[in-house]
Amino acid sequence: MSKYKIIATFFVLLMAASCSKDFIELTPRGTVLESNFYKTEAELFQGLVAAYDPLGFATNFTMKMGLLNAASDDTHAGGSDASDQPNWVAYDKFTLDPNVGPQAGLWSKNYTGIYRANLVIEKAEGNVTGLTADKKARYIAEAKFLRAYYYFDLVRWFGNVPLLTVAPSADAIYKQTQSTPTQVYAQIEKDLKEAIGTPQLPETVGVDELGRITKGATKALLGKVILFQNNNTRMGEAATLLEEVITSGNYTLERNFADIFKPDNKFGKESVFEIYHSGNRKGDWGMGIDGNEGNKDVQFCGMRDFVGADYGNGWSFCPVSQDLVDVLRNDPRFAATVIDGKALKNAGASYSAGYQNTDYFIKKYAPLASFKAVSGEPALNWGYNYKEIRLADVLLMAAEAFNRSSNDGKAQTYLNRVRARVNLPAKASAGAALLDDIYAERRLELATEGVRFWDLIRTNKAATVLQNQGFKANKHELLPLPQSEIDIMQGSFKQNQGY
């Protein structure tokens, strides 16, 4: 994958338009323009790599995992003080408004990805020198997966969003309208089903292609999309897709739970869909946040001013909540999930207490001193991949889907595979009690991985669980649309309810 990232960095500079302040500023700037690019297979491939690149963007420090942790009951926002990252604090305390919150960065980076994916799909249908039928089919399938992925984030965060399946012309920019979630989900499913049905999309990839989309990742994402829509009549469909991933033979659980998150265990045997980051970019602040390839969540969640063994310095975001500590304390996964800061202090270490400090920190993506970048700005160059979908998540999604489609036998089987990995006894519950066990296991297994908030939203539990954080039903399920988009579209975009 390193080859793809190197090419992407160059290509991003050429296609800078889609990194601009809003998605409708689409005219490319630079020496190579869209109108005279994409003439060869190599150029089309560079365009595909550029469509992958926003997966790792941190536009305005809007990192997906960290923000979702802060919005959930797994962690608080943290930082040095309440003014450190106001957008994070606003999501944590649900004091969001159209101008304050993470919405502008999330909107921008996802529409950046959509714009680039649309270009790949469009240009692949043209006269591209050296493009074989097989490569064309694979590139289009990958671009459709990426477009679906970006839209899945957008529809969950914003609800009614513009649905663009082609790059709009200049005269169409200000004529965009919002599509309903039903329409957006239909397009997401269409893209993923067409990608799954593409024979050239591989089941697995070689070491020189790690990070590229596979059929298993596409089926897992489609199963997740169906599950999120919360329609019990479709649970059998989701169960079938997820079970195909499980039984493919391409993925197995790591024997040791902690090994999943070792920074040097990239694309491990449990990884179904993983977002690449590199510590070799030698990036600095002059390159901008998105110009660096490191995982910014790692720097954010580390202990501030840390002095001691094992860990590097961080910025004290996402301190783990006491609630999660209490739930996890007697679970075998605790030590691989949570850093006990008090225990470190008792052993002679020190760190500065940040905002909302609990003395508990995220372990899964903690900045380890041995993986600190040796060149460039260390804070921007943590080469930790983000495990977007891993097999344990697929097993638990399948368990839920089978339970909700009245097959408790298979639901128990898949739930207990996850528990057996950490030597926990099997569950023999059924019906609603089994579903509760599955949800409880998801929190324990996937804690601090950015999954909990979406689980609370899709199961309609957010208003109850997050009420002490300020969450209000029928409002905070969605972010507000960025005020800049409302202003630019001169009233044609409707703001979300309550904002």
Tell me whether residue 17 is in a domain: yes
In a domain, 442, yes or no: no
CATH of the domain at 181: 1.25.40.890
3-state helix, strand, coil in the chain (%, to 5): 50, 10, 40
pLDDT (0 to 100) of residue 319: 98
Residue 365 within any structural domain of the chain: no
Q: CA distances (Å), 180 to each of 125, 160, 170, 187, in order?
A: 28, 5, 24, 11
Assess if residue 484 is contained within a domain.
yes
Residue owning tokens 């690019």: 37
Residue 350 maps to a domain: no
Asked whether 338 and 324 are in contact (CB, 8 A), the reply is yes
Taking the C-alpha atoms of residue 327 and residue 263, their distance in angstroms, rounded to an integer, is 26
* Tens of pLDDT, residues 350-400: 999 999 999 999 999 999 999 999 989 999 999 999 999 999 999 999 999
Q: Answer yes or no: is pLDDT of 8 > 70.
A: no
Task: Establish if 354 belongs to a structural domain.
Answer: no
Instruction: Say if 378 falls within a structural domain.
Output: no
Domain that holds residue 190: 1-61+102-201+476-499
pLDDT > 70 in the chain, percent: 93
- Say what the pLDDT of residue 48 is: 98
Quick one: pLDDT band at residue 32, thresholds 50, 70, 90?
low
- Is residue 131 scored above 50 in pLDDT? yes
pLDDT tens string 57-90: 999 999 999 999 999 999 999 999 999 999 999 9
Number of compact structural domains in the chain = 1
User: Which stretches of 290-379 are assigned E, i.e. beta strand?
Assistant: 304-307, 338-340, 350-352, 360-362
Residue with token string 């060869």: 40
pTM score:
0.94
Residue 5 located in a structural domain: yes
Residue 361's DSSP bridge partners are: 339
